[in-house]
Amino acid sequence: MTVSAAWYLTLAAAMFSIGAIGLLVRRNVLVMFMCVELMLNAANLTFVTFARELNDVGGQAVVFFVLVVAAAEVVVGLGIIVAIYRRRLGATADDIHVLKG
Amino acid sequence: MHLFLASATLPDTITFAIAAAICIVGSLGVVVSTHPVHSALMLVMTLFGVAVLFVEENAQFLAAVQVIVYAGAIVVLFLFVIMLLGVDRAESIAADPLRGQRLTALLLGLLVLAEVVLLGRGRWPTGAHSTAGALNQGTKPNVNVLGTSIFTTFLLPFEITSALLVIAIVGAVVLARRPRRPVGGASSPIPSAKGLTGPPEAEGDDTDRGPLQMGVEDLEDSDGLEAGRPGVPATHGQEGSKS
Amino acid sequence: MGDPLFIHGVDLAVFVIAVVKVVVAFVVLLVSVMLMIWFERKVISDMQNRIGPNRAGPFGILQTLADGIKLFFKEDLMPTNADRVVFKLAPYLALLPALLIFTIVPVGGVVTIAHHTVELQVADPAIGILFLLALSSVAVYGTMLAGWSSGSKYPLLGAVRASAQMISYEAAMGLSIVAVVLESHSLSTRTIVDLQASSVLHWNVFRTGVIPFLIFVVAVTAELQRPPFDLSEGEQELVGGFHTEYSSLRFALFFLAEFMNTITMSAIIVTLFLGGPDGPGFHFLRWLWPILWFAGKTVVFLYGYVWVRASLPRMRYDQLMDIGWKLLIPLSLAWLLIIAAIEQSRLWGVAILVACVPIYFLLQRSRQVSRRRAEMQAVETERARSRKDPRSVLFDSLLADEPAGGEH
């Protein structure tokens, strides 16, 4: 019998909060992106934990789809970042103020 | 709380403790590292920790896919972008560029943590029945159970994700393409030029640009980038003013 | 299902057996790397009419050991621009996947030790093949980080080449493995090997129809950065490639990783396609024959790699990428579809096969059109260039996209 679900959920919550804090604090677009990935992972961990807890395969299937969507998201997101860098807008989120209306 | 005290065997507890420590240290590392490459490595560490936890929770397939997709593809893509764009220099995170932002972010983060933990304490049954089927089906391995579920119950979402992936690929190609650069005035080609330059087949270097050529140019680029920072360089007023 | 060793719970004997398996596998792998390096040097020398190493030990067999000792005592250099932590970490990241992949290779049959059924492989996870794919996709980190953390341009270029190559060929490799999994209905290496036993015609080479095997061998060669796919260390262009800045023990680790990967991947080829330890045995020493068969098959592939290295020239980078993306991936995808259809029924198989023909011509046509366009573009560029001062042409190609703002 593995460790109880509450531990897993607490861990996921902690990871999610760390990711959220990172997203708010950091200014490098790439690192912000990584923090989003952290939050997605925390959510995945929760899904898998509930799948075990409720004995329902749906939770794991959802994680599978999250992984696919994360891959697609990263591809497009990094494409956007590369396009922005090519315009020499700089390394941080603050430099992208040109996008303002 | 009764959930915390459920019985767990010693190896399971130790595995969980180590993996959880890796996850927490890794995710803190992502946020704290000054260098984007270090952040990416810390992210890989976290992903491995999560993969171990997936195995612990009888999700072997997801653990493997997590490593293949996340560590093998997504973070490698991150590293590629970091290296080729030449943003691989340390960023000073000691200074707080926006006064009070750190504090607010920390408070918000703690709020999120408190909220999630509080919500997680209670049980919120909706009474709905599972439509996806049971996770533990005797000796049937996890891969079979998950595969059956994805290809029956979740067939439509599965097919839609394939469309999503194609859209993402096309989008990425469109975004990352360099616009074709006009070389000189393209009008009035000189007839004798062809004889001077030899067969065009031998001169393919400007059109099929493999990563090698791209690498050299981008390295040159990155030097220019570092010199031209910070802020929006004046040379790009043209593009900026268009919007 | 699962490892029979752990069926009756874990007691001391099981624990000891598991530890012994790990240690034996590790030692065997290290020793075989030593022999492999010697073997490669000897065979290449032979092919080039040289003698090769012949001083240390009989036939120079201890030459690798001597080289290792020499490397061990050399100065450990650290470039000024290097990222210290990552620079030190990278060699271990390169070595780990090679070691770990070997754990799922069944090197022999099943023996009984102290009433426990022991499979002659370190571990037999139910997701063995996924484990292999996961680790081989992680293998790119060692190369990539080594090149980046050296803080100089040639290693970085070598690393970019290498990692782009590895990622490109990963897809073809995965797709050809899926063909094997389709035939075996299992992800466990032990089950895959067991299903190939009893007859040569049951080997997956023949059951999946040879093409996945060929694709897999080519893709693995590219994954390994072995010649003719060793562009990441093209001496003429990149000095030593991603490990240019490494010296002493760290360089030795890269060297070790490279050869260990070669051995491990040869073993994986044998496992997936050539029946693993399957082969005729005799009544005495029943447990030994499968191991010998396995080792023999692996050595054949190792010899093949050395042979290829001695005889084939290095490819050009765009050729390499063309083979990966335009040949291997479409081919393995089409073959996978056909196999999957035949699994359903013969009729479907024929239908998919017929459907593949127009798709092939469509692809061919699109490649033709794109090639023609590229050629026209090249001519146009050349004309524009030749009108300028010839001395500025080189300069322009270096600053290719700098004047983009000024031109229009």
Answer whether B37 touches C (CB < 8 Å).
yes
Nearest residue in C to B216, CA atom: C157
Residues of B in contact with A61 (CB under 8 A): 132, 146, 149-150, 153-154
Answer whether C172 touches B (CB < 8 Å).
no
Query: Per-residue pLDDT tens for C244-294?
Result: 778 888 888 888 888 999 999 999 999 999 888 888 877 777 788 888 889
Contact (CB<8Å) B211/C404: no
Residues C142, C163: Cα–Cα separation, whole Å:
10
Q: Is B192 exposed, middle or buried (0-12, 13-18, 19+ CB in 10 A)?
A: exposed
Say which of B81, B149, B173 has its CB closest to residue A57: B149
Q: How confident is the model at residue C62 (pLDDT cuts 50, 70, 90)?
A: confident
Contact (CB<8Å) C383/B181: no
Answer whether B22 touches A (CB < 8 Å).
no
Contact (CB<8Å) A67/B66: yes
Contact (CB<8Å) B74/A71: yes
Answer whether C138 touches B (CB < 8 Å).
yes
Q: Could you give the C-alpha distances from C234 to C241, C243, C251, in angstroms and in order? A: 7, 12, 17
Q: What's residue A96's pLDDT?
A: 65
Residue that the structure tokens 């973070």 belong to:
B75
Contact (CB<8Å) A71/B236: no
Q: Could you give the C-alpha distances from A35 to A19, A21, A90, C156, in angstroms and in order? A: 5, 8, 20, 26
Residues B60, B63: Cα–Cα separation, whole Å:
5
Residues of A in contact with B157 (CB under 8 A): 65
Contact A71, A79 (CB under 8 A): no
Which residues fall within 8 angstroms of residue C23, CB to CB, at 6 or more apart? none
Nearest residue in A to B48, CA atom: A41
Contact (CB<8Å) C386/B193: yes
Q: What's residue C264's pLDDT?
A: 93
Query: Per-residue pLDDT tens for B4-27?
Result: 555 667 888 889 999 999 999 999
DSSP secondary structure, C200-268, as one string:
GGGSHHHHTTSHHHHHHHHHHHHHHT-TTS-GGG-HHHHTTGGGTT--HHHHHHHHHHHHHHHHHHHHH
Alpha helices in chain B (DSSP H): 10-32, 36-56, 60-65, 75-85, 101-121, 142-152, 155-176, 193-197, 211-228, 237-242
Q: What's residue B191's pLDDT?
A: 40
Q: What's residue A98's pLDDT?
A: 62
Among A9-18, C72-81, C102-111, C378-387, name the one with the lowest average pLDDT. Answer: C378-387
Average pLDDT, chain C: 84
Q: What's residue C277's pLDDT?
A: 85
Nearest residue in B to C165, CA atom: B211
A vs B: CB pairs below 8 A: 284
Contact (CB<8Å) B161/A69: yes
Q: What six digits make up the tokens of B33? A: 């590292």
Residue B197 has pLDDT above 60, yes or no: no
Contact (CB<8Å) B183/C384: yes
Which residues fall within 8 angstroms of residue B132, CB to CB, at 6 or more apart? A56, A57, A58, A61, B149, B153, B154
Q: Could you give the C-alpha distances from C174 to A74, B145, C95, C249, C327, in angstroms and in order? A: 21, 22, 21, 33, 15
Q: What's residue C299's pLDDT?
A: 93
Residues C404, C390: Cα–Cα separation, whole Å:
20
The enclosing H or E element of C350 equals: helix C346-386
Contact (CB<8Å) B136/A9: no
Q: What's residue B88's pLDDT?
A: 58
Residue B81 has pLDDT above 60, yes or no: yes
Query: Per-residue pLDDT tens for C374-383?
Result: 888 888 888 8
Q: What's residue C408's pLDDT?
A: 41
Answer whether B65 touches A (CB < 8 Å).
yes
In this structure, which amino acid lies at residue B2?
Answer: H
Average pLDDT, chain B: 71
Q: Name the 3-class secondary structure at B122.
A: coil
Interface residue of B68, B78, B148 to substitute, partner C, most C CBs within 10 Å: B68
DSSP secondary structure, C257-317, as one string:
HHHHHHHHHHHHHHHHHS-TT-S---STTTTHHHHHHHHHHHHHHHHHHHHHHHHPPPPPH
Please tell me the distance in Å from A40's CA to the nearest CA on chain B. 11
Contact C166, B73 (CB under 8 A): no
Say which of B62, B73, B231 has its CB closest to residue A95: B231
Which whole number is the average pLDDT over C298-303? 93
Q: Name the 3-class secondary structure at B3.
A: helix
Query: Per-residue pLDDT tens for C180-210?
Result: 998 888 888 888 888 888 788 888 888 888 8
Residues of B in contact with A64 (CB under 8 A): 62, 65, 146, 150
Say which of B91, B102, B104 has its CB closest to residue A28: B91
Which whole number is the average pLDDT over C290-315? 90
Contact C172, C324 (CB under 8 A): yes
Answer whether B90 touches A (CB < 8 Å).
no
Residues of C in contact with B238 (CB under 8 A): 405
Exposure string for C7-42, b = 16+ CB within 10 A, e = fewer: eeeeeeebeeebeebeeebeeebeebbbbbbbbbbb
Neighbours of chain C (3+ CB pairs under 8 A): B
Residue B241 has pLDDT above 70, yes or no: no
C235 vs B148, residue with greater confidence: B148
Q: Name the 3-class secondary structure at A92.
A: strand
Q: Directed axis angle between helix A29-53 and helix B10-32, to 10°?
A: 160
CA nearest to B57, candidates A64, C128, A59: A59
Bridge partner list, C113 = C116
Q: What's residue C202's pLDDT?
A: 84
Residue B188 has pLDDT above 60, yes or no: no
The enclosing H or E element of C118 equals: strand C116-119
Nearest residue in B to C2, CA atom: B141
- Could you give the count of Cα atoms lying within 13 Å of C168 in the half-sphere of its Cβ? 26
Q: For B188, left (φ over 0), alpha (ψ -120 to 50), or beta?
A: left
Q: What six digits make up the tokens of B231? A: 């802020």
HEC per residue, C164-212: HHHHHHHHHHHHHHHHHHHHHCCCCHHHHHHHCCCCHHHCHHHHCCCHH
List the 8-27 stretch of B: residues with Cβ below 8 A of C. none
Nearest residue in B to C155, CA atom: B215
- The residue extents of the domains of chain C are 4-344
Q: What's residue C387's pLDDT?
A: 67
Nearest residue in C to B223, CA atom: C399
Residue B76 has pLDDT above 80, yes or no: yes
List the 209-228 stretch of B: residues with Cβ below 8 A of A. 225, 228
Q: How confident is the model at residue B203 (pLDDT cuts 50, 70, 90)?
A: very low
C8 vs B82, residue with greater confidence: B82
Residues of B in contact with A45 (CB under 8 A): 50, 53-54
Q: Name the 3-class secondary structure at C392.
A: helix
Give the phi and the psi of residue C89 in degrees, each rounded to 5: -75, -35
Please tell me the distance in Å from B52's CA to the nearest CA on chain C. 12
CB atoms near residue C311 (< 10 Å)? 11
Q: What six digits make up the tokens of C219? A: 């893709």
Q: What six digits make up the tokens of C96? A: 């780990």
Q: What's residue B176's pLDDT?
A: 77
Query: Per-residue pLDDT tens for A70-95?
Result: 999 999 988 888 887 777 656 666 66
Q: What's residue C267's pLDDT?
A: 93
Q: What six digits make up the tokens of C69? A: 């000792």
Q: What's residue B47's pLDDT?
A: 93
Q: What's residue C321's pLDDT?
A: 86
| Pairing outcome for strands C110-113 and C116-119 | antiparallel
Give the phi and the psi of residue B76 in degrees, each rounded to 5: -60, -40
Say which of C86, C159, C164 has its CB closest to residue B37: C86
Residue that the structure tokens 């190792």 belong to:
C302
Answer whether B83 touches C (CB < 8 Å).
yes
Q: What's residue B140's pLDDT?
A: 77
- The C-alpha angle with vertex C225 and arms to C219 and C226, in degrees rounded to 5, equals 90
Give the phi and the psi of residue C111 in degrees, each rounded to 5: -120, 165
Say which of A2, A83, A88 has its CB closest to residue B56: A2
Residue B208 has pLDDT above 60, yes or no: no
Contact (CB<8Å) C148/B208: no
Q: What's residue B218's pLDDT?
A: 42
Query: Per-residue pLDDT tens for A44-64?
Result: 999 999 888 888 888 889 999
Interface residue of B9, B13, B15, B30 to substitute, partner A, most A CBs within 10 Å: B30
HEC per residue, A22-52: HHHHCCEHHHHHHHHHHHHHHHHHHHHHHHH
Interface residue of B44, B144, B175, B214 to substitute, partner A, most A CBs within 10 Å: B175
Contact C204, C278 (CB under 8 A): no
Ordered structural domains, chain A, with CATH: 5-91 (1.10.287.3510)
